[in-house]
Copies of this chain bind each other. A is one copy, B any other.
Amino acid sequence: MVTLQDVARAAGVSIATASWAVNDNKDVRIPESTRIKVRKVAEELGYRQNALARSLARGRSDLIGFISDGVATSPFAGQVIQGAQDEAWRNGKILLIVDTNGDPLIEQRAFSFMLERRVEGIAYSSWVHHAVKPPEELKQVNSVLINCFDESRRFPAVVPDEVQGGRTATELLLAAGHRRIAFINEKEPSPASVGRLTGYKKALSTAGIEFDAGLLTESTADQEGGYRAAGRVLASGATAVFCHNDRTAMGLLDALHERGVRVPQDLSLVGFDNQEVISAHLHPALTTVGLPQYDLGLLGIRALLAHGRQAGAVSAVGEVLRVACPAIVRESIRAL
C-alpha cells in the first residue's frame, strides 16, 4: 500500500504539503503547480487515502450507523435504506448498516460494533410502524428513530402520516362520487390501524357523511384477511372499499373474482402501502396510497445530521415528524 509519505517523497515535498494538495485544503495556500504535481504523483503511484488513519487523526469517522430490524424480511426497508444512503452520501457520510432481524442479541452486538467504530449517529429503524422501547445505547450517540417512535419521546422520530394516508385513500373514493365506503381495517391496534381509521372518519365527516359502523370490518392485514372479509363487505351494500393494505385488497379481489363481482365496475377498491409486486400487477391494477419510504430514510438522516450540527439543541428531541403518504392512482376506482 502506498502511503502519503511515499507520495510526498516521490513528489519531493513534505508530507504536510502532500496532505494539503491531496485534500484540496482551502485553509492553506499552496501554488497550483505543486498541487498539480503532487496529485499527479499520487495518481501514478495509485495512492489511496487510508480512511482509518484519517478518521483517527481528525476525530471524525464519517460513519453513520443504520440499524434495521429487517431489510431481509421486508419489501419496505429497502427504499428506506436507499433514501438514507443518498442523504448520507450527499453529506460525505457512509452508512454502516446492520439488520438485526429483530434479535436483541444481534442488536446488542450491532451497537457495540457501531460505537467502537465511532459512528457519528445511529438511525434506528423498524419495518413496521410501531412504538419501540429504544435500547439505552442509543442515548450514547446522536440518534433518530425511523418508521417507529419512542413513547417516552426521548428521541426524534420520522414516521409516515397514517391519518393523512387514511384520509387520502378515502378521499380518492369520495372524489369518484362514492358515499357508502366500506373499510376493511386491521384487527390489531397499531399506529396504522388507528391512524388510518381516524383518517377515514375525518374524510367522511369533512364530506358530510356520517360514520356507519356497519361499513367497518376488521381482519388480519393479509390476503387471507381480505379474502374472508368479502362476505361482510358485500352485505354492507358498499359501492367502494378502502382496504387496510394492498395484501388485504389482493385477497378481497380474489374472493370478488370467485363471486363474479367485477372491479371496478361493481365495486371500487383502494389499497394502502403501494407494494408494487402486488398493486401494480393486479387485475385491475390497484389504486392505492404509498408509504413514503424513501423520504423516511432521507429525512431521518437529515434530522440526524442537523441535530448533530446544533449539538445540544433541545428543539428537535422527541419531536416526531410525520411524512405524507402519496396517492397512487391506477385502475381500481370507477367514478359514479
A281 touches B82 (CB 8 A): no
A250 to B41, CA, bound (A): 59
Q: Give the chain B neighbours of A132 by CB distance below 8 A.
A: none
A77 to B281, CA, bound (A): 21
B94 touches A113 (CB 8 A): yes
From B49, B70, B96, B251, contact of A116 by CB (8 A): B49
Interface centre among A99, A257, A278, by most chain B C-beta atoms within 10 angstroms, is A99
Is A334 in contact with chain B by the CB < 8 A criterion? Answer: no
Kindly supply a per-residue 1/0 record for chain A positions 53-70, scoring 1 wherever the CB is within 8 Å of any chain B CB and 0 otherwise: 111100001000000001
Report the interface size for chain A: residues with CB under 8 A from the other chain.
54
B82 touches A48 (CB 8 A): no
From B61, B73, B227, B282, contact of A52 by CB (8 A): B61
Q: Give the chain B neighbours of A75 by CB distance below 8 A.
A: 75, 277
Quote the shortest CB–CB distance from A33 to chain B (angstroms).
Answer: 26
B78 touches A281 (CB 8 A): no
Q: Give the chain B neighbours of A95 by CB distance below 8 A.
A: 97-98
B51 touches A117 (CB 8 A): yes
Quote the shortest CB–CB distance from A166 to chain B (angstroms).
Answer: 22
The residue in chain B whose Cβ has the minimal distance to the Cβ of A49 is: B116
Is A118 in contact with chain B by the CB < 8 A criterion? Answer: yes
Q: A72-B81, A75-B277, A222-B281 are in contact. Are A51 and B118 (CB under 8 A)?
A: yes
B224 touches A281 (CB 8 A): yes
B61 touches A71 (CB 8 A): no
A281 touches B223 (CB 8 A): yes
From residue 94 to 134 of chain A, which have CB atoms closer than 8 A to chain B? 94-99, 101, 106, 109, 112-113, 115-118
**Could you list 13 A-B pairs, sorted by A, with CB under 8 Å?**
A48-B116, A50-B118, A51-B118, A52-B55, A74-B78, A82-B101, A94-B96, A95-B97, A223-B281, A251-B281, A254-B257, A254-B283, A257-B257
**A interface list, Cβ under 8 A from B:** 48-56, 61, 70-75, 77-79, 81-82, 85, 89, 94-99, 101, 106, 109, 112-113, 115-118, 222-224, 227, 247, 250-251, 254, 257-258, 275, 277-278, 281-283
